[in-house]
Amino acid sequence: MKRMNRLGLLVLLLCFMIVNACSNAGSGQGEQKKEDDVELQVSAPGQFPIVNEKVTLKVLVPSNSLVENFETNEFTKWMEEKTNVHVEWEVMPADSAQEKLNLILSSGELPDVIMDSPVTLAQLMVYGNQGMFLPLNDLIDKHGYEIKKVFEKMPIVKETITTPDGYIYALPQVNECYHCTMSQKMWVYKPWLDKLQIDVPQTTEQFYEMLKAFKEKDPNGNGKPDEISLAGAPKTWFGAVDGFLMNPFIYSDKYVANGKIEIPYNKPAFKEGLKYMHKLYAEGLIAPESFTQNGDQLTKLGENPDTPILGAVPGGCMICSFTTRGKDYVTIPALQGPEGKRTSLYMPSPVTRPTEFIITNQAKHPEVALKWADAMFSEEVTFRSTNGIPDKDWRWAKDGEIGINGKPARWTILYKYGNIQNDDWKGTGPSFQDNDFRLSMSVEPGDIEQVLFAETNKNYEPYIPKISEVVPTLFFSEAQSAELAELEKTITNYVDEMKAKFITGKADLEKEWDSYVQTLDKLNVKRYLEIYQEAFDAKK
């Protein structure tokens, strides 16, 4: 009995010690957390440093071929000193970033922040709805400063990153490239216009007459019929001949008409555009290789040694590709079609990466992460993150220096783009580069950017459609995305194939148009448009 009593007492004593130890441990943790709450104080919006005690953020990011090392990077160091936020980097190889990201997302072991990674809009909604990605609306309301100014200056930014149910799950990268918003251009070799005394064409008929003169009147003067009036390359940046030349008949991409998403490919006006291009091809004014060649092959035509042979060429920046003769090519304006239609393809959204900065549900200090990203939208930080150290990599402009837009410049670059460096992040992370920022960069007369601005401003901006006619950035669910990807691939491949056949005459446009439209119906164009319409209606 005594033995049992002693044993009982020992058990009771042991239990008491365990309970007491647990209680003390819990008490200690509670005090520490309370202590942390007291010590960690965030600054008012827009003020630095953003926290009084240094905080570490775990950031997942793909590698950047132009950045030597994110950890030792000078901008990383400068940003830490300015904000009091230290970054613990997890860098994924860029070529396998999607696979690595998917593994991390499926594992549930998330960093505080996912930055610059290939998260799709569909994934953003899925993981946002699941709670893995934090909604940022309240954080922006309470701690946002620079991003609020961005929203005020460019409402389209907020519209672009807000899901149909009203949530913002990611902060964007904003890089407003003026000439990129109207990239569908047609370039013409001006010395031939001058020699043949041809005015820059304004209509499809005048364009036809110009191409015919290039073919028949020996503008390069070598006595040989070696001139190529028009050539394109379908896989290059707006290098397909049927893009620019379709716009005088019907808008060459998806568009909005009376609140409905439409495609041009099955409309009578599209047929008229194909008929016009077939006429050009049949008369030898479009090079046969225009439907198969790549960019390098097109460049060889434009850079033909000794003798120029290429008259007109579509593309976003042919003066970038033709390094020898590029300066002699000028754009022609959006052409007026036989029914009076005249329009430029327009892509107005300045949001280049809508899922640039995501805060996960494992972030210990989401308010700090939000404020850290918010700072990157300021002009000072954007200059540093994208261009490097003042007076080393860039400087403020001097009196008399002219910007891309022809107005007095504000700043200029001192480095050669394309070299690996360790002064800045070269496009990784949130930033805000609007036209005021980009176009105020000092350039030498005749600089490519200056030419692109002038040509775009003169020949394409006057003919942009109303913003209400342009399909905005849309959010699709995962199921919609999967279905849409399959439909889009099938429909696009078929349309591209038949456009080439109709233009070259391998398919008879008059005899086969109806069967072409019927095949599009069988490929479920109706469902394709329904998915777009569902997403468009949800966006309203």
Structure confidence by residue, pLDDT tens digits, 62-73: 999 999 999 999
Rounded mean pLDDT of 452-477?
Answer: 96
The answer on pLDDT for 156 being more than 80 is yes
Tokens linked to 92? 């994924």
List 394's β-bridge partners, or say none: 390, 413
Residues 6+ apart with CB under 8 A from 520: 265, 266, 491, 494, 495
- Look up residue 331 and give its DSSP letter: E
Task: Please tell me the distance from the alpha carbon of residue 405 to that of residue 179, in angstroms, as a whole number.
Answer: 11
The answer on pLDDT for 344 being more than 50 is yes
Percent of the chain's residues with pLDDT above 90: 90
Helices 268-282 and 478-504, interaxial angle, to 10°? 40
Tokens linked to 379? 């002009």
Q: How many Cβ atoms are within 10 Å of 384's Cβ, its own excluded? A: 24
The 3-state DSSP class for residue 534 equals: helix
Report pLDDT for 537: 96
Residues 6+ apart with CB under 8 A from 419: 66
pLDDT, tens digit, 9 for 90 and up, residues 159-172:
999 999 999 999 99
**In this structure, which amino acid lies at residue 257?**
A
Residues 6+ apart with CB under 8 A from 363: 57, 112, 113, 134, 369
Is the distance from CB of 145 to CB of 46 less than 8 angstroms? yes
pLDDT, tens digit, 9 for 90 and up, residues 189-237:
999 999 999 999 999 999 999 999 999 999 999 999 999 999 999 999 9
Two domains, one topology: 55-178+350-438 and 184-344+470-539 = yes
Rounded mean pLDDT of 405-434?
Answer: 96
Q: List the one residue out of 312, 320, 317, 269 whose CA is nearest residue 290.
A: 312
Is the distance from CB of 92 to CB of 86 less than 8 angstroms? no
Stated length of the chain: 540
Report pLDDT for 510: 97
Chain position carrying tokens 């594992």: 107
Is the distance from CB of 254 to CB of 473 less than 8 angstroms? no
- Residue 32's pLDDT band, with cuts at 50, 70 and 90, is very low
Tokens linked to 197? 């005394």
Task: Please tell me the distance from the alpha carbon of residue 262 to that of residue 526, in angstroms, as a whole number.
Answer: 10
Bond from prior residue into 201 cis (ω within 30 degrees of 0): no
Residues 6+ apart with CB under 8 A from 173: 116, 351, 352, 353, 356, 427, 429, 430, 431
Q: Residue 232: phi, psi to the nearest 5?
A: -135, 180
Tokens linked to 33? 């957390």
- Look up residue 313 and give its DSSP letter: E
Task: Please tell me the distance from the alpha carbon of residue 30 to that of residue 473, in angstroms, as a whole number.
Answer: 46
Q: List the one residue out of 492, 472, 480, 460 whose CA is nearest residue 182.
A: 460
Chain position carrying tokens 């365990």: 18
Q: List the one residue out of 283, 265, 246 whose CA is nearest residue 513.
A: 265
Beta strands in 242-376 (DSSP E): 255-257, 260-262, 310-314, 329-332, 351-359
**In this structure, which amino acid lies at residue 319?**
I
CATH superfamily of 184-344+470-539: Periplasmic binding protein-like II (3.40.190.10)
CA angle 467, 473, 476 (to 5 degrees): 140
Task: Please tell me the distance from the alpha carbon of residue 39 to that of residue 219, in angstroms, as a whole number.
Answer: 78
Q: List the one residue out of 250, 247, 245, 249 whose CA is nearest residue 264.
A: 250
Is the distance from CB of 176 to CB of 350 less than 8 angstroms? yes
Q: Residue 357: phi, psi to the nearest 5?
A: -140, 115
pLDDT, tens digit, 9 for 90 and up, residues 76-124:
999 999 999 999 999 999 999 999 999 999 998 999 999 999 999 999 9
Which DSSP helix (H) or strand (E) runs through 67? none
What fold is seen in the domain 55-178+350-438?
D-Maltodextrin-Binding Protein; domain 2 (3.40.190)
Give me the residue spans of the domains in the chain. Answer: 55-178+350-438, 184-344+470-539
Report pLDDT for 475: 96
- Look up residue 184 and give its DSSP letter: -
Chain position carrying tokens 């396998």: 96
pLDDT, tens digit, 9 for 90 and up, residues 288-297:
999 999 999 9
pLDDT, tens digit, 9 for 90 and up, residues 309-343:
999 999 999 999 998 999 999 999 999 999 999 99
The answer on pLDDT for 22 being more than 80 is no
CA angle 244, 246, 249 (to 5 degrees): 130
